[in-house]
Amino acid sequence: MEGGSTVTFFRRLTAQWGERYRKMSIQMVLSLSFTAVAAAGILLMGVSLIWRFSSASEQMVAENSQRMLAQANMNLDSYLRRMMRIADTVYYRVIKNTDLAEGSYTDALGLLYEENRDDLVSLAVFDSQGTAVSAVPLTTLKAEARPEENEWFQAAWNNMENLHFSSPHVQNIFDDPDSPYRWVVSLSHHVELTRDGVTEGGVLLVDMGFSGIEQVCRDVTPARGGYLYLIDGDGELIYHPRQQLIYAGLLEENNRVAASYRDGSHVEKFQGQSRQVTVKTVGYTGWKLVGVAPADSWWASSSQLFLFGLSLLCFATFLMAFLNFLISARISDPIRRLERSVKELESGLDVEIEEGGCYEVQRLGHAIRSMVSTMRHLMDDIIQQEGQKRRSELEVLQAQINPHFLYNTLDSVIWMTEAGQQAEAIQMVTSLARFFRISLSKGKNIIPLSDELEHARHYMNIQQIRFKNRFTTRIEAREGTEELYTLKLIVQPILENAIYHGMAGAEDDGAISVSAYREGDDLLIDVADNGIGMPPEVAESLLDPDRPQVRTGGSGTGVRNVHQRIRLTFGAGYGLTIFSEPDEGTLVRIRLPALTREEAARCQQGEVL
């Protein structure tokens, strides 16, 4: 109900403003228009400046974030390299140089641990079965510990050439009486142990204190409102300043999506807020440092610029409104007088067009008067010429009936009468009379489909008598075409072409069929013969208006004549289509609109359907 009231209110308000606009003088319209254009230009300039300033601020934030991440990455890289050097020292200086049958790694590992105890939690070496070979300072495995089933063990064992860094986890291999829940990041590496001169596989484990990585990330100071966090390649959090809240489900982070970002700056929308996310991949580990800067951090300085732009817009709008009012007053009076003259001219009155005012307005009035007079004469001439041209083209095409058919038929009647074939002569004369009666059709150009097919039957009766039944004829109208109308004298020329060309080589097995049927809103008439046919390219050229006409022994206007008459009457979407192959016969398809009685009457009067 409330929504309907709001829509009604806005419609009423729009109607009121529309009515006011229609009643405004041209002076007021010019003043408001010029003022609105000026204000829009100033507003556009202000928005452009704010946008450029914001873009520069955004770029500055991105560069600061990238520098921040570069510093954090350098510190983290230094820390990880130190751990990697410890692992290499254990492997190449201790494990490689010690045979377990003759000595132990414990002393050397203990020395390395003491040198790096601020960063290390433990050092340990395991054989292929997960049994601890040596470990410092934690030496006692937990009862439920299965080192060989841990992710760090499997990663090192399956990828022997690389060092592997795990995600942060609670140290769960050794008993740690000082801190049973100490968070570590495990570095593991496949090693070769020597026992009695025989080498076997093993795994070196370096547990780093997570506090070292945490301290590296905390030492970085983000921009106002921003923060930095660290994820692995799968998006799992390694460090986050609010990690405990996230694990408790009280806070969410877009870390899974950030894992898919390439290195660089990206703008994203998370929990309804826009923010800039800068990503930097940490070498050796596949981890990613992610810096987050809220959109507020680069929009904060834009408010003052916005207020300045708004003040400038208000002042400029007031100044332009005053100047535009003065200027528009000088322009509007002559134009109003010209507008009144044009309105009277539209009413059909013979009035004098106003030509006062400045030079341009005078020339406009003179041009309007000349243009109206010229357009009226031209439109009358064009309408008259187009109607006359269309009628002439149809009359010429309709009149192109070859009297040769009539002469041959009358000669055949005379010959039959002299030969005593009175029945055949009477049948031919009767068909000829009905043929020409339908051809005349009381001057109508659109006739019922049944009359057009009856006209074709009489024509074929005459031709079958003349050609002594060298071919058979079948003419049918399928269901749904009983009440349809068609352009007259379009089937007979196609039949004539089929007889004189398609049946030229037929002996007594020729067949010609005419089938009328409806297809959607169209009426189709197919005329098919089993004659000699023709190549497809020849069939296609028969309807080409540029093809030279060849006079033959037919009596109709020809295939092309029928095609042109249909297109002139109903448009380019209708006409003939010819399908033919040598020795396969020919099919001529006539496409017409399916005209009812009322539509045929309108078309007969020259209306466009």
pLDDT at 116 over 90: no
Please tell me the predicted confidence (pLDDT) of residue 528. 93
How far is residue 236's CA from residue 167's CA, in Å, rounded to a whole number?
A: 8
pLDDT of 434-466, one tens digit each?
A: 776 666 655 577 889 988 898 888 888 888 887
pLDDT at 397 over 60: no
Average pLDDT for residues 166-179, to the nearest whole number? 82
pLDDT at 119 over 80: yes
Average pLDDT, the chain: 78
Within a 10 A sphere around the Cβ of 518, how many other Cβ atoms?
Answer: 15
For the chain, how many helices (H) and strands (E)? 17, 18
How far is residue 245's CA from residue 205's CA, in Å, rounded to a whole number?
A: 30
Average pLDDT for residues 37-42, to the nearest whole number? 73
Please tell me the predicted confidence (pLDDT) of residue 552. 44
Please tell me the predicted confidence (pLDDT) of residue 513. 93
245 Cα distance to chain centroid: 45
Please indicate whether residue 170 or residue 349 has the higher confidence score (pLDDT). 170
pLDDT of 238-257, one tens digit each?
A: 888 888 888 888 888 888 88
Domains 98-213 and 404-604 share a fold: no
Please tell me the predicted confidence (pLDDT) of residue 383. 63
Please tell me the predicted confidence (pLDDT) of residue 522. 93
Please tell me the predicted confidence (pLDDT) of residue 17. 66
pLDDT at 105 over 60: yes
**Cα→Cα distances 50→37, 60, 269, 294, 306, Å:** 20, 15, 21, 18, 7
- Picking from 527, 515, 526, 446, the residue whose alpha carbon sits closest to that of residue 485 is 446
Identify any residues that bridge with 579 across adjacent strands, giving them in sequence order. 587
CATH topology of domain 98-213: Beta-Lactamase (3.30.450)
pLDDT at 327 over 90: no
Stretch (H or E) spanning 208: strand 198-209
592 — pLDDT class (breaks 50, 70, 90): very high
How far is residue 471's CA from residue 439's CA, in Å, rounded to a whole number?
A: 24
Please indicate whether residue 341 or residue 22 has the higher confidence score (pLDDT). 341
- Name the least confident of 54-58, 211-215, 475-479, 522-526: 54-58
DSSP state of 174: B
Average pLDDT for residues 324-335, to the nearest whole number? 70
pLDDT of 481-507, one tens digit each?
A: 888 999 888 888 888 888 888 776 666
263 — pLDDT class (breaks 50, 70, 90): confident
CATH code: domain 404-604 is 3.30.565.10
- Name the least confident of 126-135, 141-150, 547-556, 580-589: 547-556
553 — pLDDT class (breaks 50, 70, 90): very low
Please tell me the predicted confidence (pLDDT) of residue 554. 42
How open is the CA angle 32-38-44, to the nearest 5 degrees? 130
How far is residue 108's CA from residue 115's CA, in Å, rounded to a whole number?
A: 11
pLDDT at 36 over 70: yes
How far is residue 496's CA from residue 86's CA, in Å, rounded to a whole number?
A: 104
- Name the least confident of 388-397, 467-476, 561-570, 590-599: 388-397
pLDDT at 80 over 90: no
- Sole residue written with tokens 């990828």: 159
Domain ranges of the chain: 98-213, 404-604
**Burial classification of residue 71, based on how many CB atoms lie within 10 Å of its CB (0-12 exposed, 13-18 middle, 19 or more buried):** middle
Please indicate whether residue 348 or residue 378 has the higher confidence score (pLDDT). 378
